[in-house]
Amino acid sequence: MKSITILLSAILSASATVAGETRRQSCPKVHIFGARETTAPPGFGSASTVVNLVQQANSGATSESIVYPAAGGSVYAASVTAGVAAVANQTKAFNQMCPESKIVMIGYSQRGKGAQIVDDAFCGGPDGASLNTTAASVSSGVGKMVAAIILMGDPRHVDGLSFNVGNATAGGFAARPVGFQCPAFEDIIQAYCDAEDPFCAKGNSSATHQGYGREYGQAALAFVQSKLEVSNNASSNGTGFVPVSEVSTLRPDWGYIAILLILGELVLI
């Protein structure tokens, strides 16, 4: 009975090792997270324009939407809290499964949310009743592997940041304080906001807010590609997937060797 227990333990150990290696071998070089706007149905929402552009431009790239309520009204603040947690949890889970894959974040806001939760997750708060910490919510592993962050119509917009794009000078309805900085990620962020936008600025044109994908989609793609090129330049091999040598090489597993010895299948020379 003891021998059987040892054998089963060895089999499980070997299986876990092989399964882990197989999973990592199929990891994409680029994975895109998209966060939809308030009240949009589950999926990418208006972020889909840029998500699709980036995915099509990177062979083998994969994508997933941030799963959160995206609710408005009286539960808006609670929805932001849930969204920030979802960004942190989903990116961490992916990074643990594919630690060598580059991550691209795309957040789009309509009356807030999509861009807001990505902004808060990476740059911290406080953010009213939604977030009471200045620390980033994402893991250190995610922080190392995120290559680019795109924010469109972000209600946290404040004038004067190095990563701002557009002609807006007024702050959004959940604007950061004057003088705010996001030093850990500011070099890889592009935040798009025009003055006519009623959510990231003080305008009155919903069409402007809904038009960032059309107006700035190609510029956002060019920015993402430039950051991916910098990030992947040293390890690029021209394929859409991370090769075994870049993830981890399959090494002899002592549990597997024990199985072969028990079954008499290992020939020692």
Provide the annotated active-site residues: 109, 197, 209
Rounded Cα–Cα distance for residues 154 and 108 (Å): 7
For 28, residues 6+ apart whose C-beta sits below 8 A from its C-beta are 60, 61, 62, 98, 101, 240, 241, 242
Rounded Cα–Cα distance for residues 100 and 141 (Å): 10
Cα→Cα distances 207→82, 165, 226, 256, Å:
28, 18, 29, 61
Render the burial of 20-58: b for 16+ CB within 10 Å, e for the rest. Answer: ebeebeebbbbbbbbbbbbebeeebbbbbbbbbbbbeeb
Rounded Cα–Cα distance for residues 65 and 32 (Å): 8
Report helix, strand or coil for 216.
helix
- What are the residues facing 32 on neighbouring strands? 63, 104
For residue 81, give both structure tokens. Answer: 């809290």
